[in-house]
Amino acid sequence: MAVVVDQSQANTVGSSLNGFCSTIYFPGLPELTLDLQASPMAVTLTTSLFILFGGIGPIMWASISDFYHIRRFIYLVSLLIFVAASIGCALVTNVWYLVVLRCIQSIGTSGTIADCWEITERGSAFSFLFLGQFLGPLIGPVAGGGITSGLGWRFTFWFCAAYGVFLFLFLFVGLPETYRLDHVWNTELPVHRELEGPTMITLVRSENDDIGSAKPEDSKYRLGETSSVALTSRSTVSIEPEPKTKLNPFKSIAMLKHMFVWLIAVQTGICFGTMFTIETIIPDLYAHTYRFESWQTGLSFLGAGIGNVLGSFVSGKLSDRLLKRARAQRGGVARAEDRLTLNAWPGGYILVPLGVLLFGWAINMRFSVWVSIVGFAIVCFGMSQVYAAGSAYLVDAIPGKGASVTAASNLFRMSMACILSLVAKPIVDSIGPGYLAVVLAGLNITSMSLYAIVKFKGPVMRSRAGYGDSPL
């Protein structure tokens, strides 16, 4: 029997690969630094620029996918790029070559990041997508610590290359073309020909049709993301070709011109950047403070992984439930700001700052390493609540443009993570991890006020931008 890979399985692979490869070599950073005689800044760039290009890559791949109506080909080509770059990383003798190859490797992993913004219950959908993203950073350092201790840091990249070859063969054999047209998603067309290229659906009815008498549950055709139209037997569907547009990989960045998009992107960027910054400084801090070997450093990431997985599970359970309750209290009136659910506020205002301070000051005061591990786990749990709420809100706030707004927010988020991780090492060297934790905690508390602004002023900002709520 032939193996067929569905889109959800491809999503899991795509969302986990980037995080896995960004962290697998973290336990070997001290050995890598000595082997390549690299400066701390050069080593930091191998992690910071990887995360930055992880934000640039999806914009490029998504634009190509939408322009040529392909997804399977993107998966396979990006995996080949990833494999080639991973082999190069394993063979380098100069840290600056490693920096360049890590950027290319990141672009390769970003081609496998799939989308889920057309799913109705986005709280649960995003929680599963983020679960895949967070499983990567959970497994990566653990595997990397064992590989580095037994075979050296270069074999972490050989492992990445082998994993990439396996995924390529697996998807080549089992993955069909999964590209869909957003315009006709969930639409059944009574036509006898295959759709070729992008289409726009126009509904035409005769003068005798009584559309108003049809019940919503009788609707057979759904158009777009939020609207549904009931058709009678006398209704017809005409298909018109959509005008061809130019390939513009960075068109989606224009979404950041909307204030409500920018505010959410800033907060999620700071929150995610805090988690990534801690990931990048752990290897050196644990090696110098607790004399950890590579395998011990890798195992220490299990706490963060557990926090991420539990956080994704909780946010998925709570998000859609709280959303439905809020809309029920309003008499069924939908509002995008309902996506900024109650669990996001303690996550951003309390859990992330508390976890950061526990992590930083435990190391600064040389407490037991378990205190810093638990602190980082709390950071990851809180970040999951904030991140899922903000991501789901952006998709609901701009119906039909979920891919573009998510790509724009993702680029900003990765840029913030890049900047924070670049400045973290100099701050730790000058004032210590405790005061770095104070800075990060302050940034997170301050940035949560941006969520509050969107929560209460979002409807006005969306209306001014032309994305106001449609009446039911």
| Residue 340 backbone dihedrals phi, psi, to 5 degrees | -80, 75
- Pick from 385, 397, 380, 376: nearest CA to 126: 385
User: Distance between CA 20 and CA 387 in Å, rounded?
Assistant: 19
- What is the number of structural domains in the chain? 1
pLDDT score for 380? 93
User: Distance between CA 265 and CA 256 in Å, rounded?
Assistant: 8
Beta-bridge partner residues of 200: 240
Q: For residue 420, is it within any domain?
A: yes
- Pick from 178, 196, 199: nearest CA to 116: 178
pLDDT score for 4? 54
Is the distance from CB of 356 to CB of 278 less than 8 angstroms? yes
Please report, for the chain, how many H helices and E strands are present, in that order: 15, 4
Domain residue limits at 104: 7-178+251-455
Q: For residue 230, is it within any domain?
A: no
pLDDT score for 96? 96
Q: For residue 47, is it within any domain?
A: yes
Residues of the chain with pLDDT under 50: 1, 114-121, 123, 182-241, 471-472
Taking the chain, what is the end-to-end CA distance rounded to the nearest angstrom?
Answer: 47
Chain segment 208-248, per-residue pLDDT in tens: 444 344 443 443 333 333 333 444 444 444 444 455 567 77
Q: For residue 66, is it within any domain?
A: yes
User: Distance between CA 240 and CA 69 in Å, rounded?
Assistant: 17
Question: pTM for this one?
Answer: 0.78
Q: For residue 450, is it within any domain?
A: yes
- The residue to which tokens 């640039």 are assigned: 56
The CATH number of whichever domain residue 449 belongs to comes to 1.20.1250.20
Beta-bridge partner residues of 236: 204
Chain segment 284-325, per-residue pLDDT in tens: 999 999 999 989 999 999 898 889 888 888 887 787 788 788
* Other C-beta atoms lying within 10 Å of the C-beta of residue 68: 12
- Pick from 383, 377, 349, 350: nearest CA to 362: 377
pLDDT score for 207? 41
User: Distance between CA 364 and CA 428 in Å, rounded?
Assistant: 10
pLDDT score for 63? 77
Q: Residue 153 gets which letter from DSSP?
A: T
pLDDT score for 71? 79
| Residue 195 backbone dihedrals phi, psi, to 5 degrees | -75, 130
Token code pair at residue 35: 């082997």
User: Taking the CA of residue 127 as centre, how many other CA atoms within 13 Å lie in the half-sphere pointing to its CB?
Assistant: 19
Q: For residue 20, is it within any domain?
A: yes
pLDDT score for 5? 54
User: Distance between CA 412 and CA 305 in Å, rounded?
Assistant: 24
User: Taking the CA of residue 49 as centre, how many other CA atoms within 13 Å lie in the half-sphere pointing to its CB?
Assistant: 16
Is the distance from CB of 124 to CB of 24 less than 8 angstroms? no
Token code pair at residue 89: 């990383």
Query: What contacts 162, CB < 8 A, 6 or more positions away?
Result: none
Q: For residue 404, is it within any domain?
A: yes
User: Taking the CA of residue 100 as centre, how many other CA atoms within 13 Å lie in the half-sphere pointing to its CB?
Assistant: 6
Is the distance from CB of 300 to CB of 292 less than 8 angstroms? yes
Q: For residue 303, is it within any domain?
A: yes
Which helix or strand (DSSP H or E) is residue 221 part of? Answer: strand 221-223
- The residue to which tokens 């219950």 are assigned: 121
User: Distance between CA 307 and CA 38 in Å, rounded?
Assistant: 33
